[in-house]
Structure 1
Amino acid sequence: MRFAKAHAYGNDFLYVQKAAVQGVALDALAREICHRHTGIGANGLIVYERTPGGASMRLFNADGSRAEVSGNGVRGLGALSKRLMRTGQSSTRQTFRAAMGRPAELRQVPIVAAGESLQVALMNMGNPQCVVLGTLPPDARFHRLGAALEHHQMFREGTNVEFAEVVTPGSVRILIWERGVGPTSSSGTGSCAALVAAAAFGGAARDAEVISPGGAQRVEWRDDNVYL
């Protein structure tokens, strides 16, 4: 089986063409090849096929669960398919700009998780997102709240979780708890959700640098789209 691997700031994916895995249990394949010690290692598996307009894909998290979309995963597939707008290139790095869609069902709600009362921003960025605004939590609290929010009864299918701190209007720092993965260094849709929440409810600009443990990504929230 041939595969490709790509990452954006450490958020890594394995890409396999659909024709190569016909008849294979894809959830089991994802668990096997995404394992960091006994497999190739990745946050997710993307099974794709080329189409006249670019490509279609199915995404599986490292635990074998299905996911709707990944911003960084889509950008990797776009680069693989040569269907993205490249905005920069060096000997070791390529920079792309992708339209990620508009946030849906954006709102703030109170929630109790892991014994704490929180105010969170919820939205759909092609996948469910829950953003906690404020000072970034220490490691133990991050793990406790991240796991509790991912599996909270409010979210029937689970949710991705971001903790976002507005440093300046043009700079937002985040920590990411990815559904089906746990702590991760970067997330495209998570960065978009964090910027939208920070701009809507935290005083950030609608065009800002979103800094995750893996690196910084520029996110623009315009009337027509969110751009990553």
Structure 2
Amino acid sequence: MSSRPFIKMHGLGNDFVVVDARTEPFALTDALAKAIADRREGVGCDQLLILEPPANGSADVFLRIRNHDGGEVGACGNGTRCVAALVMGELGREAITIETNAGLLRAKAAGPGLVTVDMGEARLGWQDIPLAEERDTLHLGIDNGPLADPVGVSMGNPHAVFFVEGVEKLPLAELGPALEHHPLFPERANIGAAEVIGEDKLRLRVWERGVGETRACGTGACAAAVAAARRGLTGRKVEVVLTGGPLTIEWLENGHVEMTGPVATSFHGVLNGEFLA
């Protein structure tokens, strides 16, 4: 296999390897995706993002997303912002449409280094998340130690949001894996631990399925904002403070969720043919 250029980008420390496969297909297996994401022997990233030609005529690019463990997922909020900034820069435009396995996402420039993405509609039905059985998604009825009574939300991927006190001291690495793999979640789940720290302000930590705890999770921030509004803990527009920094999330009256935050490019590189083989 010939060498392939890539771009290393991040949104609030949630980092990505971006490979452009729009003109030359990229033969990617789960094992190769995992190898690229490996932080010791590969480039290292939370997610690998592949740019492909869109199937939908109204989209500017198709975004394929691989998690750190090599598995494919439908949505990645911080990654979508990074790709939006990249493609808007290429096209010289202030707004684009990105096709994903979770649907069409519309993005626009929101100021220097900032991008807003409409992450689509927050889905709240138990089948949408999905759950293994019918449950009230406002009170899922599962727990692990101090994490109890989560809210279920789908943002194109499954989330369980727990509201806690003392989130900074929470042993999330000990509690997250069992909840990620709980039998209630047939596709596993992203586990969010959120604390209300001010008026319309949340502090959030996320154990991301297939990744572990990340410095930032865009869909997790969207899910936490929706969950907090559903519980009456905040209004529909909140600041979500992640370990890597803040995102502004608004749950619109039409059910869609808009996310605004920064993007950055770390470096450009090349995956050599020997590694890819």
In the superposition, the TM-score normalised over structure 1's length comes to 0.90
Say if 1:47 and 1:57, in contact at 8 Å, map to a contact too.
yes
Query: Is structure 2 residue 86 aligned with structure 1 residue 75?
Result: no
Q: How does 1:16-27 map to 2 (within 5 A)?
A: 16-18=19-21, 20-25=24-29, 27=30
Q: Could you tell me which of 193, 198, 201 is aligned with 1:163?
A: 193
Aligned counterparts of 1:5 and 1:21: Cα–Cα separation in 2: 19
Aligned counterparts of 1:37 and 1:28: Cα–Cα separation in 2: 15
Aligned counterparts of 2:257 and 2:168: Cα–Cα separation in 1: 29
Answer 1 or 2: higher relative contact order, Cα 8 Å, separation at least 6.
Answer: 2
Aligned counterparts of 1:222 and 1:96: Cα–Cα separation in 2: 17
Query: Is structure 2 residue 71 aligned with structure 1 residue 65?
Result: yes
Deviates more, 1:47-56 or 1:164-173: 47-56
| Counterpart for residue 209 of structure 2 | 179
Say if 2:140 and 2:152, in contact at 8 Å, map to a contact too.
no
- Mark the CA change 1:97 to 1:201 in structure 2 (over 3 Å): closer, same or farther: same
Q: Could you tell me which of 10, 15, 19 is aligned with 2:18?
A: 15
Query: Is structure 2 residue 277 aligned with structure 1 residue 226?
Result: no
Say if 2:201 and 2:238, in contact at 8 Å, map to a contact too.
yes
Report the Cα offset of residue 196 of structure 1. 0.7
Report the Cα offset of residue 137 of structure 1. 3.8
Aligned counterparts of 2:80 and 2:243: Cα–Cα separation in 1: 20
Q: How does 1:25-64 map to 2 (within 5 A)?
A: 25=29, 27-51=30-54, 53-64=59-70
Secondary structure of 1:14's counterpart equals: strand
- Mark the CA change 1:124 to 1:113 in structure 2 (over 3 Å): closer, same or farther: same
| Counterpart for residue 86 of structure 1 | 109
Secondary structure of 1:56's counterpart equals: strand
Q: Could you tell me which of 179, 196, 202 is aligned with 2:226?
A: 196
Letter in 2 for 1:180: G
- Count of residues in Structure 1 that have an aligned counterpart in Structure 2: 223
| Counterpart for residue 124 of structure 1 | 154
| Counterpart for residue 4 of structure 1 | 7
Secondary structure of 1:180's counterpart equals: coil
In the superposition, the TM-score normalised over structure 2's length comes to 0.75
**% identity of equivalent residues:** 35
Q: How does 1:103-122 map to 2 (within 5 A)?
A: 103-105=122-124, 107-114=137-144, 118-122=148-152
Report the Cα offset of residue 140 of structure 1. 5.9
| Counterpart for residue 121 of structure 2 | 102
Aligned counterparts of 2:184 and 2:65: Cα–Cα separation in 1: 23
Say if 1:113 and 1:148, in contact at 8 Å, map to a contact too.
no
Letter in 1 for 2:185: F
Letter in 2 for 1:191: A
CA RMSD of aligned residues (A): 1.9
Letter in 2 for 1:196: V
Report the Cα offset of residue 109 of structure 1. 2.5
Say if 2:167 and 2:194, in contact at 8 Å, map to a contact too.
no
Structure 2: segments with no counterpart, 5+ residues: 89-95, 97-106, 126-136, 260-277
Aligned counterparts of 2:185 and 2:38: Cα–Cα separation in 1: 26
Structure 1: segments with no counterpart, 5+ residues: none
Query: Is structure 2 residue 163 aligned with structure 1 residue 133?
Result: yes
- Mark the CA change 1:48 to 1:109 in structure 2 (over 3 Å): closer, same or farther: same
Say if 1:167 and 1:173, in contact at 8 Å, map to a contact too.
yes
Aligned counterparts of 1:193 and 1:44: Cα–Cα separation in 2: 19
- Mark the CA change 1:110 to 1:127 in structure 2 (over 3 Å): closer, same or farther: closer
Aligned counterparts of 2:147 and 2:5: Cα–Cα separation in 1: 48
Whichever of the two has the greater Rg, that structure is 2
Aligned counterparts of 1:212 and 1:148: Cα–Cα separation in 2: 22
